[in-house]
Amino acid sequence: MHPLKHIDAHMDNLISELQTLIQQPSVSAKNEGIQECAQLVKKILEKAGIKSEILRLKNFAPIVYGEIKSKKNPNRTLLFYNHYDVQPVEPFELWDDPPFSGKIKGNKIFGRGSSDDKGELITRIKAVEALLKTAGDVPCNIKFVIEGEEETGSVHIEQYLKKYQKKFSCDGVIWEFGYVDSKNRPIIGLGMKGLLYVELSVKESIRDAHSSLAVLIKNPAWRLIEAVNTLRDSDGKILIKDWYKEAEPLSKKDLEIISREPFDEKSFKKEFGVKSFVSNMNGFSAKKALVGNPTCNIAGFVSGYTGSGAKTVLPKDALVKIDFRLIPKMEPKKQIFRLKKHLKTMGFNDVSIKIFHGEAAARTNPSDSFVSKVKEAADQTFGKSILNVSNAGTGPMHSFVKILNAPCVSIGSTYMFSRIHSPNEFARIDLLRKTTKCFCLLIDKFGNN
């Protein structure tokens, strides 16, 4: 039987195994069902004919590793990166069915993890299984790295990658997720932005005071506002010295891809209820910003009294949380140093800095042959696809690219509006089927390089 026919003939099996996966809670934020889910994933891999083991490092959530060697082409390896953990289900009362039900309604299968990331994982396993069951071999070596801490920031993935660098070595990585837009076009993502998350605070006095004393006691909220105001101009440009020094500009090819990318500005604005964008960007400049602009965003600002009514108080302290998105070649450590130096030079020695998270950006060259293979497989399956130079968000892609030294591309089955991280998350069965077929074709193309 042809592997694509095999996929059609065994969709029931794909669905029931996805249901089993959804029904096993695996909330990393609460350490709920993590070990059990890792065992379950191992079992599913083995049932598909993929050799599997559980890797453990310290007391971190285990990684489920799967591997199948190709008999005819043992010199080329494709690695699938996925995760078996899920986001918490709260608010519980907003779910129409229990969050771990795996209930099917028409073309949709519901439950936490149905798309993110258990749905994505099952398509990849089933694609490999279809090849194995129909040909008794795979066109290239396949590896699975399935982690259990993605939804809590993949904080230990780099340590795992370093320890198992040899074991995980490969020639291409398929990222854990991929979106399909409302016109059924898969989005092929070639990168992710980096992130620097910091907290700035000012403590002025040992307790809140009557606000009449504002004539004498300095207000820490004002002080922090003054400091924060030096970081960025009103057009979004970051004013810290050398902030953009190493930042890699978009290439001609990147710009070409961006110009071809669809962007429904009107419905985007409607979705968020906004009338205009930062610096009045529109059309091409807005698309370009999503892909290639660093940001300095205030994520939260707390000080004094924010309850109802009036309270004339002079707060003792003030705190702001800021996230900076980074683009390729901007090194988090260097940027932290620059931020600290900036505050010092501007005279804000009294502003304390706490660093939470630093992660570099990653981008795969659109001219890499891996990209064209993914695009061919996607176009063949879906009829059309969209290339995206970089996601506006952040993920640990850089660790993979850097440590495994392989190009990394994201493509998957997640319908854009499938409510991932929200109540009533679902996966579309038609997309699960198509994506499984797409991976089958991709593995074949990749193997027959």
Sites of contact with Zn ion (CB under 5 A): 116
Joined tokens for residue 68: 């199948």
**Smallest separation, CB 112 to Zn ion (Å):** 10
**Residue tagged 């990168």 (tokens):** 191
Task: Considering the complex, state which of residue 87 and residue 303 has its C-beta at the smaller distance from Zn ion.
Answer: 87
Report the C-alpha gap between 282 and 236 in whole angstroms. 14
Q: Return the number of the residue (67 or 116) whose C-beta is nearest Zn ion.
A: 116
99 or 366, CB closer to Zn ion? 99
Residues 6+ apart with CB under 8 A from 208: 304, 313, 314, 315, 316
Nearer to Zn ion, 116 or 171 (CB): 116
Supply the minimum distance, in Å, between the C-beta of residue 12 and Zn ion.
Answer: 27
d(Cα 330, Cα 101) in Å, to the nearest integer? 43
Distance of closest approach, residue 180 Cβ to Zn ion, in angstroms: 16
Query: Are 171 and 70 within 8 A, CB to CB?
Result: no
**Two structure tokens written together for 250:** 């978009």
Q: CB 241: neighbour CB atoms within 10 A?
A: 11
Nearer to Zn ion, 292 or 412 (CB): 412
Distances (CA, A) of 81 to 8, 189, 355: 24, 14, 28
Q: How many CB atoms lie within 10 A of CB 47?
A: 13
| Helix H or strand E encompassing 21 | helix 11-23
Instruction: Kindly report the length of the chain.
Output: 449
